[in-house]
Amino acid sequence: MPEPIMETRELTRYFGGLAAVHGVSVACNVGELHAVIGPNGAGKSTLINLLSGDLPSSSGSVHLRGHNVTGLRSDRISRRGVGRSYQKTNVFLPFTVFDNCRLAAQSRLPSSMRFFKPAAAYRAVSSAAVRALTMAGLEGREGAIVASLSHGEQRQVEIAMTLATSPVVLLLDEPLAGMGAEESARMVDLLRKLTKDHAILLVEHDMDAVFAVADRLTVMVNGQVLESGSPAQIRASRAVQEAYLGVDDV
């Protein structure tokens, strides 16, 4: 098996005395969608925040392409090809859809310390923005102010911005949350398409979607990894049934 593009080793994060993430080792490979599931408060979002550099870890390490990137701030992690989306929509509400994506694409220029040439004159940036928003299904909505969009469309903007930074690793925190059935189905299609040339770590509550797209599953409970394996293995696991999946059936 090739070396994973991004992995954590014994990653731990305490909030006060609580171990939100405790000794977690996960790996992502290009061409693979790795889904992390678990009940609320299992530490899934914290795990993403640790991987993206939004939160510093308490111990353990994060590796990207074989380099130790533990403790790097989020902007540095992003520049190394890791894009993330947020569970709670985190975009630029007063800007248009296009400007949100353009700003995201602009982040890939070596520097934005350019004071004179108008931003609109950077053609490559604009076309990267259009590509991303088209992929996320927002074509025709370029000029709309994001604050005026529906919740589902704002979720699409969130994804489009993440894609506009042309990442290799995608960390997606509940991209389907709050989406209607049709939007969800489209997102699932998009995830499948993206999996081909990206490494995706997906945190999601929608179990049907997760089992439809995941190549590998990790189940977290109380900040720790309970089980990790293929969807079939997870479905068959007794520990998982007891701790999590079975809950619905009881």
Partner 1 sequence: MIVCLLALALLPFIADKFTVQLVTKMMIMAIFAMSLDLLVGYTGLVSLGHAAFFGISGYILALLTPQYQAANFWVSLPLAVAGAGVLALAIGCLVLRVTGVYFIMVTLAFAQMLHYLFHDTRIAGGSDGMYIYLRPDAGIFGLRPFDLEKFGDFYFVVFALFIAVFLFLRVVLRSLFGQVISGVHVNEGRMRSLGFPTFRYKLASFVLSGMLAGIAGYLSAVQFGVVNPDMLGWHLSGSVLMMVILGGMGSLVGPILGAFAMMLLELGFQSLTKHWQLPMGLAIVLVALLLPRGLVGLASLRSRSKEAVDA
Single out the residue of 106, 184, 218, 237 in contact with partner 1 (rule: CB under 8 A): 106
67 binds partner 1 (CB under 8 A): no
Of positions 102, 141, 155, 216, contacts partner 1 by CB under 8 A: 102
Q: Which is nearer to partner 1, 99 or 204 (CB)?
A: 99
Handedness of CA 171, 176, 182, 183 (dihedral sign): negative
Q: In angstroms, rounded to a whole number, what is the distance separating the alpha carbons of residues 195 and 247?
A: 30
Q: Does 198 bind partner 1 (CB under 8 A)?
A: no
* Residues 58-69 as b or e (16 or more Cβ within 10 Å = b): eebebbbeeeeb
Give the C-alpha separation, 44 to 21, whole Å.
8
Least Cβ distance, residue 152 to partner 1 (angstroms): 19
Pick one of 9, 58, 95, 224: the residue that binds partner 1 (CB under 8 A).
95
Residue closer to partner 1, measured from CB, 113 or 181: 113
- Say whether residue 73 binds partner 1 (CB under 8 A): yes
Among 90, 148, 230, 233, binds partner 1 (CB under 8 A): 90
From 25, 61, 96, 107, residue interacting with partner 1 (rule: CB under 8 A): 107
> Of the candidates 65, 67, 79, 151, which one interacts with partner 1 according to CB under 8 A?
79
Please, are residues 184 and 21 in contact by the beta-carbon 8 Å criterion?
no
* Binding of partner 1 by 34 (CB under 8 A): no
Dmax (CA) for the chain in angstroms is 64
| 227, β-bridge pairs | 219
Q: Distance (Å, rounded) from C-alpha 50 to C-alpha 101?
A: 24
* Burial call 96-131: b when 16+ CB within 10 Å, e when fewer: bbbbbbbbbbbbbeeeeeeeeeeeeebeebbebbbb
User: How many residues lie near partner 1 (CB under 8 A)?
Assistant: 37
Distance of closest approach, residue 81 Cβ to partner 1, in angstroms: 10
According to CB under 8 A, which residues from 108 to 137 bind partner 1?
108-109, 112-120, 122
Per CB under 8 A, which region of 11-19, 86-94, 200-208, 210-218 contacts partner 1? Answer: 86-94
147 belongs to the binding site for partner 1 (CB under 8 A): no
- Report the candidate in 152, 150, 107 with the shortest Cα–Cα distance to residue 128: 107
Measure the CA–CA gap between 137 and 160, rounded to whole angstroms.
Answer: 8
Find the binder of partner 1 among 14, 39, 54, 142 (CB under 8 A): 54
233 binds partner 1 (CB under 8 A): no
Distance CA(139)–CA(117), nearest Å, equals 27
Assess contact for 89 and 100: CB atoms under 8 A: no
Residues that bind partner 1 (CB under 8 A): 52-54, 73-76, 78-79, 84, 86, 90-95, 99, 102-104, 106-109, 112-120, 122, 161, 165
